[in-house]
Amino acid sequence: MKRLLTERVDRFGALGQAAVDLVRAEAEALRGELGGNARRLAVTLLFFVAALFVAFWALAALVFALIEVGAQWLPRWAAALAVVAALALVAAILVLVGRWRLSRLESPAATVRRRAEDYREWWEHRLGRGPGVGAAARRRRDESAAGASSGGSSPRPDA
């Protein structure tokens, strides 16, 4: 009897050690894969930086060309001023669109609160104490439907 108990304890210990070894091996494989991905990402980002550098100078050449074309009908200073005004107008429109899209984003704190509430409700449901899975999600969906019907907008751009 004692030998059987010892054998089972040893098997259980070996099983635990195998699980620990498996987790370590998976973590090591993940670390290696992420390291390779990080290197590939860095090289890819360098290509994007180079493309931005070239695009910047191409834009500068385009601005110069626009000024020269405008100088055919206006004095060179007036053509330059017209191009600068057009670029300032485009920049102002881009800033307004960016501010509008930024105002529609859900704050990180609100996202964390929403996700925590969803998890809490899920666990309460799993333990048999809550109103059910996704009650917070249903409540948000109902609120956003009411906001959409009244002309309001969703707090998230993808919703």
* pTM, rounded to two decimals: 0.45
> What's the residue count for the chain?
159
pLDDT value, residue 158? 45
d(CA 139, CA 137): 5
pLDDT value, residue 156? 45
pLDDT value, residue 157? 45
How many C-beta neighbours within 10 Å does residue 131 have?
A: 12
Contact criterion met (CB below 8 Å) for 136 and 86: no
* Ramachandran sector of residue 134 (left: φ over 0; alpha: ψ -120 to 50; beta: rest): left
pLDDT value, residue 137? 60
Contact criterion met (CB below 8 Å) for 104 and 156: yes
What are the distances in angstroms from CA 132 to CA 72, 115, 119, 137? 72, 15, 11, 11
Compute mean pLDDT per 10 residues along the chain, 159 residues long, and list them: 74 76 78 74 87 94 94 93 94 93 82 84 76 58 63 46
pLDDT value, residue 147? 63
Rounded to the nearest angstrom, the gap between the alpha carbon of residue 131 and the centroid of all alpha carbons in its chain is: 31
